[in-house]
Chains A and B, each alone.
Chain A
Amino acid sequence: MGFRQESRLQQPAIRPGLALYSGMTTLALSGLLALGSLTAGLLGALTGLGGGVVIVPLLTLGFGVDFRYAVGASLVSVIATSSGSAAAYVREGYTNVRIGMLLEVATTIGAVLGAHLAGMLPTAALSVVFGAVLLYSAYSASQSAAEHVVGTPDPLATRLRLDGSYPTPQGERSYHVQRVPLGFGLMLGAGALSGLLGIGSGAVKVLAMDQAMCLPFKVSTTTSNFMIGVTAAASAGIYLARGYIDPGIAMPVMLGVLAGAALGARILTQARPRVLRILFAVVIAVLGVEMVYNGAIGRI
């Protein structure tokens, strides 16, 4: 095993069509990956999506890295974005810890279901359908009002003590959580999709909290950020054991993403919800195109 590892290090990379990557030293590659990852961490911290949207295409299309190494690095980037930004969001009072914990149950059950269904369902077709759903969601999320105003408490949300408040420039503002069963059901679906398609389910998490449970947008994205680290940690353990996480790739990705997430966490506090909402819509539209493309070429 050790021998195989060494031989890869010494071998000059000869892959036609990947001139950029194959001529590059490890030092240059690490630098570029760290820069790209900084962008991923920044976007992830602002949108609640994790960094996979940027990391996987950057590594596979940009640098010609094998899909499996890219997935391993993507999981590392999701945990780094999540923990790095949630550290700030939790203390500042944006994250709703109870909603996060409750919905994590749904995503974990969903993920296990999805992993079991993986062999039985046509994942390529699913990927195309899910991509189309994301494109539609991008449209509907961008059309929503900047902030929901819901004044009436929901009995189930009250019983589960889900209502909370969050900081705004005008001071602390409280909100009432709506339609908990619908949100929970959507999270089951989000978890199943991530198990089936190997994608971060951040997009569905934010959409479920934003559109179904009527949470303020910043609470939705920061709570999604809080949750995705747990789901990704569970998968990262499995991928690390399978040898998908390469230290040479993961090192610049992790450090770059952490720097980006720290920057993003500072910006979110100041940013207007409307701007964040549009940024989110753009990123999930790109993710939607990615899913349709992956499904169409049958890579998933």
Chain B
Amino acid sequence: MALSAGSESTIGGPSGAPPNDQAVAQALGRILQGGVLLAAVVVSAGGLRYLVKYGMTRQQYGTFIGEPADLSHVGGIVRAAVELRGRGLIQLGLLLLIATPVARVAASLVAFLRQRDRIYTAVTGFVLLVLVASLSGLVP
């Protein structure tokens, strides 16, 4: 969630004055771009390692096996990524990709709070709650 924390300073404006809608749009755009770029770099690094190791093998995707726990939950993915395993890095990049819209909604919430816009603070808070609730399954 470093992304949303970083965005707060830009969204607030220099003196903490409420940001106008255009400034908010710029900040949201930067968060989306940053999140996507970071995710793409991590996935590319993992993809490179993965292809070097398995590029010449043949995969079986015709029957569903499912991913093991270390590639389907946050703890396992982070461990696999720290060990610089290709598939672990790819999954970490995908987690960053999933986190990007969440960071965007969180930043919108901060912006609407600063604008003292009650309706949209409630609206955005609701969306963020639902998002967090559905993502909580990733952390067993």
Q: A residues within 8 Å of B by Cβ?
A: 1-2, 4-5, 8-13, 15, 18, 21-27, 29-30, 63-69, 76, 79-80, 82-84, 86-88, 90-91, 93, 95, 97-98, 101-102, 104-105, 108, 112, 160-161, 229-230, 232-238, 240-252, 254-255, 258
B76-92: CB near A (< 8 Å → 1, else 0) gives 00000000001100110
B27-53: CB near A (< 8 Å → 1, else 0) gives 011101101100110011011001100
Tell me if B17 counts as interface (CB < 8 A to partner A): no
B62 touches A247 (CB 8 A): no
B43 touches A255 (CB 8 A): yes
- Distance (Å) between the CB of A152 and the closest chain B CB? 22
| 8 A-B pairs with the lowest CB-CB distances in the bound complex, closest first | A243-B66, A91-B29, A1-B68, A247-B90, A243-B67, A27-B55, A87-B32, A237-B135
Please list 14 pairs of residues, one from A and one from B, whose beta carbons are closer than 8 Å in the complex, sorted by A's number. A18-B62, A24-B58, A30-B55, A66-B62, A76-B94, A86-B29, A97-B25, A229-B101, A230-B101, A230-B131, A236-B94, A237-B136, A242-B66, A246-B61
Tell me if B1 counts as interface (CB < 8 A to partner A): no
Tell me if B138 counts as interface (CB < 8 A to partner A): yes
Residue of B nearest to A79 (CB): B97
B92-113: CB near A (< 8 Å → 1, else 0) gives 0111011111101100100000
B131 touches A13 (CB 8 A): no
Tell me if B134 counts as interface (CB < 8 A to partner A): yes
B137 touches A237 (CB 8 A): yes
Question: Which of these, B29, B72, B130, contacts A241 with CB under 8 Å?
Answer: B72
A251 touches B61 (CB 8 A): no
A101 touches B71 (CB 8 A): no
B52-66: CB near A (< 8 Å → 1, else 0) gives 001111111111111
Tell me if B119 counts as interface (CB < 8 A to partner A): yes
Residues of B within 8 A of A104 (CB): 123, 127
B109-139: CB near A (< 8 Å → 1, else 0) gives 0000000010110011011001100111110
Query: How far is it, in angstroms, between the C-alpha of A23 and the C-alpha of B57 when the chains are bound?
Result: 10
B60 touches A13 (CB 8 A): yes
A234 touches B40 (CB 8 A): no
A69-B90 in contact given A87-B36, A255-B40 (Cβ < 8 Å): no
Query: How far is it, in angstroms, between the C-alpha of A87 and the C-alpha of B29 when the chains are bound?
Result: 4
- Main SS at interface, chain A: helix
Query: How far is it, in angstroms, between the C-alpha of A240 and the C-alpha of B134 when the chains are bound?
Result: 11
Residues of A within 8 A of B117 (CB): 161
- Main SS at interface, chain B: helix
Query: How far is it, in angstroms, between the C-alpha of A18 and the C-alpha of B63 when the chains are bound?
Result: 13
A248-B59 in contact given A97-B25, A255-B43 (Cβ < 8 Å): yes
Query: How far is it, in angstroms, between the C-alpha of A254 and the C-alpha of B68 when the chains are bound?
Result: 21
B62 touches A13 (CB 8 A): yes
A8 touches B59 (CB 8 A): yes
Query: How far is it, in angstroms, between the C-alpha of A104 and the C-alpha of B73 when the chains are bound?
Result: 26
A97 touches B94 (CB 8 A): no
Query: How far is it, in angstroms, between the C-alpha of A266 and the C-alpha of B102 when the chains are bound?
Result: 25
B101 touches A247 (CB 8 A): no
A13 touches B58 (CB 8 A): yes
Tell me if B69 counts as interface (CB < 8 A to partner A): yes
Residue of A nearest to B33 (CB): A87
Residues of A within 8 A of B136 (CB): 237
Residues of A within 8 A of B21 (CB): 97-98
A9-B120 in contact given A242-B66, A243-B72 (Cβ < 8 Å): no
A83 touches B29 (CB 8 A): no
Question: Which of these, A23, A233, A247, contacts B102 with CB under 8 Å?
Answer: A233
- Distance (Å) between the CB of A270 and the closest chain B CB? 19
- Distance (Å) between the CB of B121 and the closest chain A CB? 10
- Distance (Å) between the CB of A217 and the closest chain B CB? 20
Residues of A within 8 A of B11 (CB): none
Query: How far is it, in angstroms, between the C-alpha of A249 and the C-alpha of B60 when the chains are bound?
Result: 11
